[in-house]
Structure 1
Amino acid sequence: MVFIRAASLPGLLAVSISAFGQIPPPESPADLLSGQYTGTSYSPYAGRSFPTFPLWGDTHLHTGNSFDAGAFGARLTPEDAYRFARGEEITSSTGIPVKLSRPLDWLVVSDHSDNVGFFADLFAGKPSILSDPKGREWYERIQAGDGPGVAYEMIGLFANGKFPESLMYWPDTPEFKSVWQRNIEAAEDYNDPGQFTAFIGYEWTSLVTGNNMHRVVVYRDGGDKASQMVPYTTYPPYGSPNPRDLWKWLTSYEEKTGGDVLALAHNGNLSNGIMFPVRAQYDGKRLDLEYVTERAKWEPLYEATQIKGDGEAHPFLSPDDEFADYETWDIGNLDEVPAVKTDDMLAAEYAREALKNGLAIEARLGTNPYKFGMIGSSDSHTGLATTQEDNFFGKHSG
């Protein structure tokens, strides 16, 4: 056994410390990782800078503030719709408890801008409505259980520009402005950053003799900006059924508020050949550079599927695609008595054909107006954003 004398320990320690002092310090983590790796990483997540977690929601939902939804029995409010979408259990318009299997991540309450809030006041028997003969007739029929009949009559009158002007809630009326402000406040109240996004929105419900030209307008803004302008409508003199005029309104909104909006067209399958024009619009005006530029700017997405049928493809246009006949609704338009649908209309109704025609238009005019992404929504008129098969409550409440 070898013994080291205690007296020698300080010397040994001095030598050891001196030796370690001659070794350069290790590189910092930043220095060690500074060399760019050029090979394929084993980690599948390395280098990813894009989001990979899908979020689910509905960009197209109606509450009792939409006159057709209300006439068919919807009594839920925007507040109810947001509560349901966030995962709360609520009571449906038909009186039963309802709840989603999982909460949504976002929701757009998109009530029709034309006559918004009118039916709720009609149902409540507002004196100013009951003083009108047609208003009283509708009220009495609703009380007698003929709400659906009133709904069909209202839709038919509206589709053909014959809705009684004395009963219209015009955009400059206190009633219209009040409902719009309440819609904004509901979205603000239920918006929860990082958890749930309550988008402000509305539906611009253009019907050209019953032919569907609808767009949902979605705001990327809060109430401070959205409240500066009331929604655009389709009835002259305050509105227009022409998409060109909607795009002018969107431009005006952004210029005035510094905000950010977009429009989502839907249900070309019910447009009887006017949703995706190739040469000229429904009014005969030829497509020009202004049209294709504005449509490409304001409509980057198309709602290709919803309750009123699938709008991507049609078996007449894609005869070799066995999936082209999925959820097809191709019977006429949205008139009270649907207009006849003919095969020559179909090419200007479906998204897949529009993608092809857009390339031809681009070659002719320099811009592709139909370079859009596709989404699906519910267009539920029950106030309930749910399409799950075992938790579905239909298009309307009645």
Structure 2
Amino acid sequence: MAHSTFTDAALTIRPLQYRDLDELRQWTADVVDAGEMVASLETIQRLEQVRRWYGPLKVLSLFPNPWQHLFSAFVAERQGQLCGLIQVSPFNRTRSTWQVDRVVVNRSVVPTGAPTFFGDIGSRLLRYCFETIWEARTWIIETNVNSKAALALYRQNGFQPLAQVTYWSIGAEQLADLGGREPDLPNLLPVSNADAQLLYQLDTAAMPPLVRQVFDHQIQDFKTNVLQLLAAGLTNWWQRNEVLNAYVFEPQRKAAIGHFKLVIDRDGQHPHRADLTVHPAYTWLYPELMTQMARVLQPFPSQSLQVTSLDYQPEREEYLVRTQAVPQDHTLLMSRSVWHKMRETKPVTLEGLQLSDVLSGLQPAGKPVPGRMSWSEEWPLSLPSQVAPFRRQRDRWGRSSDHDASEPDASADGSRE
């Protein structure tokens, strides 16, 4: 069968090399299958950037640094031709959770008669990442809900739904209306590394336990070192962006109850983007924080604002609906644990054991040895007075042992009377 032959040893998986970029550059959107056309176009654009910066990326991957895993990719090769590509990246600072950025397959090199080529090659690529990247305990992916091929691929490889993500767009007219009043935010402070503990507690409280366990965020995930700050500054200068990062501090509880990160496009060519986090007990902060962001955007070119919400944040979605925000995209966040990869063989069952084999382990190792209880003569002086009757009874038993066993113990009977 073509299907079984295609998934055998003819397909090899290896890390991406520089010589592969020339062949990957020839891939076009009509021959690339990524489960959806938008992902295919983004992959081709991403490969052009990788080709331009491959030298620095390769050097950074040789020693530990914050950008060591900036671009981790593996390719599937069959008979000297590349037929698949997968890109992965760490999700948190400790690299306990990794995410699958994209999986693409070239249809032009797939043999005729293999209708499930995307699932076959994609599964091989995913399995290779699960076995190679040993530090990853959990994997996550985010795919469009309408991508049937991608959903089937991830479900086939053990991914389960974690949350539904909705991308909302707030128009320039709605932003102008929101910025017409003064927000009630007396304790709005800029974010620094000293506030990492507060932001970590806010992030922990804003998500359910299952999502919190998968994300596995730590305090260092909310800190920025000098190199990262310099790289972010250069990136924003190149893309002509401006970033505003602030949080709301509650002085009585000494905790952060709201946080937003606003990425402003100064040229007006792209929409503005915002990441919003609000404590579940302070949902009244949604209109205040949105009003604050709308007022910040007033001096810049009129563009829409993109905000993300997940299905475990119903108050945010209700507020976005009231502000006449338009949902742009719906995706599904899925996760997979790799703890079971330590033992993927079939475990030994108890069906083959006989009852006699089980009960034989419960038999005593030898016959019990009879013995007698003896009282020591050296009792400590601090024993309580309740021990004295036992001493007198022991003395009586010692005197009665000199008499014949057949004779009645008169002294004992008299003493009892």
Give me the TM-score of the superposition, normalised by structure 2.
0.23
TM-score, scaled relative to structure 1: 0.23
